[in-house]
Structure formats: structure tokens, C-alpha cells
A and B are shown apart, each in its own frame.
Chain A
Amino acid sequence: MKKTLLSLTAAVSAVLLVAYTNRTTSVLSGFETGTPEVKSISALAFGPEGVLFIGDSKSASVFAIDTKDAETVATAKAVEIKNIDQKIAALLGTEAKNITIQDLVVNPLSKKVYCAVQSGSGAPVLLKIDGDNIQPVSLKDIKFSMVALNNAPAEDAKDQRGRPMRVWAISDLNYADGKVMVSGLSNQEFGSTFRSIAFPFTNSQNQSSLEIYHAAHGQYETNSPIKTFTTAELNGKKFLVASYTCTPLVLFPIEDLKTGTHVKGRTVGEFGAGNSPLDIITMKKGDESFLIMANSDRPVMKVKFKDIETYQGSLTQPIKENYSTAGVPYVSFPMVNVLQLDKLDDTQFIFLQRRANGDLDVRTSNNRSL
């Protein structure tokens, strides 16, 4: 009897311990239930356990929402949606010209596609795409957590009436290794603003605001804002791979990005003047990793991480020939006018493309192209 009792106590303790451990290790444990006041959706990124981060420029905040969409699917069906803008516009009761697809991301667990849409009337909409089915993701009475980006109280003190307030427009948002990284642009002063925020969010606002620079050709320093970025491991070291509003590809060691530090990046690629990268993702094929980059005025490009690793220099000489490129080698895909990219599964990525006939389609590319 005593033995049974002991076993029972041990079993109950084990269950409690497991429950406790699960409770404390889940990133959702600190989430509250309610309706987050999302005023705009500028960027989306998935974190662990089906958590979706919403970068809201209008309220200068990042929201983490529990999508409850955390069932793991290993391989995904290719996503092909023709005229997605027209389909979404019809569902919203308006015309395609009145909406903008702000971001398109894949839930890495369920492989479902999430899409942020901004309408002319200003209301942001979050949609979930599963095959041909497009459904709204309700933000009413959900589990969420949030962090404000305007943390300096003096910054927006309301002492003067009617003065225009500063907006911190979120240009990109990513999650890696327990950190939400946000790049932003102010609508007032010019300059690089990059924040790395520990997740789960804490009350202590554990976030670092960084000024990161890259040196253009050795002589002039540029604290231009970052437009899009991703993270990557190169030679066993973690890097931030950033594309600026005025220079394409710059590397920063993540360990150097600390509050108050002046971090200088290394320019590794110039991909042609008059072009600006729109989205960057990382894909793998076998043992090789690649950077896939969508551009405003060039086709989608593939850069081998191996080439970035071996490219130890920094671009110091201006490029002589008009529209030529320099730095790491790259391969252009026969894919133009691609506006958004995201990894669908280990072998596929989705992309949003404006076709030659004007249609806006969501398509899938498999790893044969890699």
C-alpha cells in the first residue's frame, strides 16, 4: 500500500512537474486575453509555437498573437492563387486598387500562409490562406502580448497642442533565437533605427536601440535606414544580413549589436544601381544555404552563403561601369517583379508576383530552382 502510495505520489509529482515545466517554458504563458488595438500591419513574422508578430507602425508597437495554428505539417502543398488582389478585394467588398498586400508569411509549423492587407479606408486586415480558402484571422478576444517601440517618454510628450506626432514606420520584422528584431524609419528625422527585443516580452522593456552604420567605400559613413533584413550563420557566427535604402547588402555580427554601441557593417554586395531589395529569405538545398532576394528593379537573385563566407573583403572601390555589380557573385532567376517571398517548407518558397499581364499572383517555387 505504502509502495503504491509512493508510486502514486511520484506519478502525481511527475505530472505536476511536467505541467509546471510546460507552463513555464511556453512562450504563451505571459500572454493576456483580449483584443489588441492593431492600427496598421506593416510587417509580419512567425515566432515559436505559432506566435505571429505584427509590426504596427501606426501605434509604434509589436504585437505577438497566439494564432492557435501550431500543428506541425512537414511538407506543404504548393500554393498557387491567381489574381490574389482581386480575390481579396471581392471578399472585402471593394476593388483591387483600394487594397495593398503589405506582407505574406508562412507559418513554419502549419505551413499556412498569412497575409496582411491594408485597405484605402485605413483598416488593416489579417487573412489566413489555406489552399483556395481565404479566411479572416479575428483579433477579437485572443491571447496576445505587446511591446511599445516609443519607449522614451520625452519623445512624444503632449505638451504642445496639435503638433504632428512622430511615426516610427516599421520596414521589416524578424524573429531569431529568442529575439524580435525590428528595423524602422521615422517620418521626421533621417537615420537608422534598429531594435532587438527579447521575446517573451517583459515589463522591463528589455530592448536595445541601435545605431548601425556601414562605411561606403571607406570614406563616408552612412547611417541610412535598413529596408529589409534576415539573419544567417556564417562560419559558425550569427550575422544580420541587412539591405539599406541606399546600399544593397551589408553584414553585421549579431554579437556586436549591443545597446549604445556604434556598429559598423561590412558591405558585401552591390547589385546594381537603381535597384532596391524588397525581401530576403534563407533557403537550403543539401548542405548549402542560400540567400534569396526579391528586388524592385532586378530579377530574384540567389547568393550562396558559402560565397559570402569566403568573401572577406569589404567593397571599397566605386563601381566603374553603369549598372554593373560587385562583391559576392549571384545568380539571377527568371523571375521578375516579385514583391514578397517566404519559405514554405524545406524545399519550396512562395512568392507574390506582378505578372507581365498585370495580374498579381501567389506562386510556389521548388528547390530545383536552387
Chain B
Amino acid sequence: MNKEVRISLRNSCKLILFCLVLFFGCAQRQETSKANLSIHWKNGQATGLLIPLSLLNSISRDEISHLVKVQLARPGIKTAILGDYKISKDTLIFEPLIPFTRGLRYEVVLEKELLAEIEIPKSTDIPTLSGIYPSQDTLPENLLKFYFVFSRPMVEGHSLHYISLLNQQGDTLPRIFLNLQPELWNAEKTILTLWLDPGRIKRDLQPNKLQGAPLTQGQRYKLVISNQWPDELGTVLEQSYTKNFVVTTRDMTSPSTNEWQVKAPLKGTLQPLEVNVKETLDYILLQNAVQVVDSQGQPIEGSIQLSDEEKKWQFIPLKPWSIGEYALQIESRLEDPAGNNLNRLFDRDVTNSKNTPSQQKVFKLKWRVN
């Protein structure tokens, strides 16, 4: 019995020693490997992997791109990642077809031998939702769209997974939004346009007849944006967001620029030009379809600010105002939140001749700096 124990102890010591050697050996190699690989970054994206040629001593430069593979470090079938290999001085650079995914591990393999492994660190820049428009908390029954404005470029294609509309009983309402592919993002992927199903808003269309309008007058709703929504680097929103609103009557009038009040700035100042547009208008179109021009029709450079629930439009010029005539030039495509533009209603009764749309493309409001 004792003998057996002695032998076992001796063997165990050998085994422990062996394991320690193996552990330190591996750890050292792992560390070296990690230290040797580096990432090439561009705009927060990992666009390349720099592999020192010293790791690949045994093979000739011509063979490198055939024998070296970069692949995802995970169990299961291994697939070489598509991309370009090039040699610059003493480094092999691998540029994948799309940037490496933050938070995933990758390995560099020479034939079947694992040379090195690296994790692409997760992004520390956490995205936030900076606004939901219309910003009003009373919205018309025929509301057409919401805009969601984010602090960072978001992932595209799955927005409806993260947005839900709850009625006052707390039930999630199905088929409220139009599922479009491609989704309507701005080029920077920071603003999403989301339409409520127009087939349900337009009178007499089958979805409207059968399912009714998406929103009902007098009801309270809660728009919920999940904190699981990732940005383009895979980092999820800082928190969940909600917008509570109550629904009022259908908006069946086109916005009219005749009602607008213009407060002219003083000459020689950088005072903003203030325009009261009298009702909440489209957050993005107010910034896009309205322009300040001089008496020659030349655009004045400056920036636009919106406030008072998109009822107040301000223009801050780049250069001080000079005395003279100016005009506000408004494109007819400017809409209210129900999609009625300066020329036509969102849906119009063709049997009523009063509703015939105007063909005017641009509306002008003249004003002066004295």
C-alpha cells in the first residue's frame, strides 16, 4: 500500500513538473504570439492584421500567401477568411474583405500549425439615442413616420427587432411599422427613418379597411427602443429608451407657408433668422427643404437649428447679415408629420376637385434686413 503511494507521489511530481514546464512554455509562446501580432485600425475598425515574418521563418516569401491562413478561433469547421495578403518589409499584412468583428478571436495558421491568436477588443465608445422625432408628445392619428437619431453609426437591417410600440394596456402592437429592406438610413447610418404602415394609414386601401389605422385617436402609446441594439462595431446602446405619446385627430391639412412668421435679424450681426412655422413639421425636411437666399437667389451659408417641437426654425449665418432683400425658399416636398406636403395631402379624394394638387415646386417668402 505504502509502496504504491510512494510510486504514485513520484509520478505525480513528475507530472506536475511536466505540466508546469508545458504551462510556462505555452504561456510564454502565447504572450510572444500576442505581442507579435498587431491590428491595423481605420476609423475604429480593425481593417488589417500585421504578422511579423519572423513567425514564418521556415517558409519562402512566395509560399506565404498559399500556406498562411487567418480564421475565426472557434470550435468546428475552420474556414480561411477572404482577403488580401501582402508583404511590407518584415511584416505580412492580411486585409480581410470586411473589417474584423470587435470582440471575436482570430487565429493565424501555417498549414495546420497554430502560429498565433488575437482578440479584437470590443469598442469602448458606447452609442446613445440622441432623439426621436417628432419630439411632440401629442401626435396625429395619421402619423406617417418617426426619425431615430443616434450618436454613432448603427448596424443596419434589423431595426424592427429593437423597436416596439405598446398600447396603454402594455401590449406590443404587431405590424405597425413598414418592414423595408434596405432600411432607410442616412449615409452615415446615424438617422433611421421608420414609416408606420402607409397601407393602414391611407383610407380605403385594403390594410386600412381590414386592420384600421396603426394609431387610434385618444389612445396613449409607448415607443420602446431596446438596449440590445448594436452599433456597427457591435457595441449595444447605453440604455433602453422610451417615448410616451397620446394620439389626437387626423391631420388633413397641408402646411401653408403663408402662415409662417419671420423675425428678421439685425444688420451686421450673426443673429439667427427666426421663423415660426406654426405647427410641427418634419424634422429632417425642415433642415433640407428650406433655404435662405439673397436677392439674386444665391444661397446664404449657415446652419439650421430646430426647437419648440420642430415649430421654430432658426438659421445662423456664417457671415454677418448685410442690409437688403432676402428670401426663404421652401421646396414643396416639405411635409408635416402626417406626410401632407405643401402641394398635396398624403391621400386625397380624387372625386373632390378642391384637392387637385398644385404643381408649384418652390415657395418663396421674402424678408428684409434693415
Instruction: Answer yes or no: B99 CB below 8 A from chain A CBs.
Output: yes
Which residues of the partner chain B approach A121 to less than 8 Å between Cβ atoms?
A: 45, 98-99, 101, 232-233
B369 at the interface (CB under 8 A from A): no
Complex Cα distance, B100 from A111, in Å, reads 32
Q: Are B180 and A245 in contact (CB under 8 A)?
A: yes
Q: For B182, what are the chain A residues with a Cβ–Cβ distance below 8 Å?
A: 40, 42, 57, 102, 118, 169-171
What residues on A are CB-neighbors of B304 within 8 Å? Answer: 160, 163
Spot the interface stretch: B110-118, B200-208, B214-222, B258-266. Answer: B200-208
* A217 to B155 CA separation, bound complex (whole angstroms): 39
Could you tell me if B285 and A189 are in contact, using CB atoms closer than 8 angstroms? yes
Q: Is the CB of B299 within 8 A of A91?
A: no
Q: B335 interface residue, CB < 8 Å from A?
A: yes
- Residue pair B351, A219 in contact (C-beta under 8 Å): yes
Alpha-carbon distance A224/B204, docked complex (angstroms): 14
Contacts of B191 in A (CB 8 A): 164, 187
CA of A167 to CA of B183, assembled, Å: 11
Could you say which of B83, B205, B230, B341 has the most chain A C-beta atoms within 10 Å of its C-beta?
B205
Given the interface contacts A95-B104, A160-B303, A246-B197, does A189 sit within 8 Å of B204 by beta carbon? no
| Pairwise interchain contact B153-A122, C-beta atoms closer than 8 A | yes
Q: Mark A310-326, 1 if CB is under 8 A from B, else 0.
A: 00000000110011000
Task: Name which residue of chain A comes closest to B46, CB basis.
Answer: A121
User: Does chain B have a CB within 8 A of A123?
Assistant: yes
Interface hub of B207, B230, B348 (most chain A Cβ within 10 A): B207
> Which of A3-11, A29-37, A268-276 forms part of the interface with chain B?
A268-276
Q: Which of B77, B80, B106, B193 has the most CB of A within 10 A?
A: B193
Q: Which of A84-101 contact B (CB under 8 A)?
A: 87, 90-95, 98, 100
- Whether A224 touches B202, Cβ cut-off 8 Å, given contacts A163-B288, A274-B207, A276-B179, is yes
Q: Let me know if B210 and A217 touch, CB within 8 A.
A: no
Contacting pair A91 B82 (CB below 8 A):
yes
The verdict on A247 contacting B205 (CB below 8 Å), with A120-B232, A159-B301 known, is yes
- B209 close to chain A: CB less than 8 A: yes
Contact with B along A213-254 (1 / 0, CB 8 A): 001110111101001000000000000000001110000000
**Contact residues in A for B349 (Cβ distance below 8 Å):** 219-220
A215 near B350: Cβ-Cβ < 8 Å: yes
- Contact with B335, one of A120, A189, A274 (Cβ below 8 angstroms): A189
B198 at the interface (CB under 8 A from A): yes
B301 lies within 8 A of A270 (CB): no
Q: Which secondary structure dominates where chain B touches chain A?
A: loop
Does B335 lie within 8 Å of A93, measured CB to CB? no
- Report the Cα distance A234→B186, complex, angstroms: 39
Per the CB 8 Å criterion, the residue count for chain B at the interface is: 81
Contacts of A42 in B (CB 8 A): 182
- Mask for B233-244, Cβ within 8 A of A = 1, else 0? 110000000000
Name the distance in Å between B73's Cβ and chain A's nearest Cβ.
10
Interface check A136, CB cutoff 8 A: yes
Q: Mark B156-197, 1 if CB is under 8 A from A, else 0.
A: 111000000000000000010011111111110101010101
Contacts of B199 in A (CB 8 A): 224, 245-247
Contact of B186 among A87, A120, A167, A319 (CB under 8 A): A167
Of A40, A91, A157, which contacts B79 at CB under 8 A? Answer: A91
Determine the residue in chain A with the shortest Cβ distance to B334. A189
- B301 touching A187, Cβ below 8 Å: no
Is A2 interfacial (CB 8 A cutoff)? no
Q: Is the pair A270, B206 in contact by a Cβ cutoff of 8 Å?
A: yes
Q: Residue on B with the closest CB to A271?
A: B206
Contacts A120-B155, A247-B199 known; A273 to B210 CB distance under 8 Å? yes
State whether the Cβ of A334 lies closer than 8 Å to any Cβ in chain B: no
Contact A93 B81 (CB under 8 A): yes
- A102 proximity list for chain B (CB < 8 A): 181-182
What are 24 inter-chain pairs, A to B, with CB distance below 8 A?
A58-B187, A100-B157, A122-B156, A125-B97, A162-B303, A169-B184, A187-B193, A188-B288, A216-B202, A217-B204, A217-B205, A219-B351, A220-B350, A222-B202, A222-B205, A227-B180, A245-B198, A246-B197, A246-B207, A247-B206, A273-B211, A296-B179, A318-B206, A323-B210
List 12 additional contacts besides A93-B96, A216-B202, A220-B348; criterion CB under 8 Å: A91-B80, A93-B81, A119-B98, A121-B101, A165-B288, A171-B180, A188-B284, A188-B288, A188-B289, A220-B347, A221-B347, A273-B210
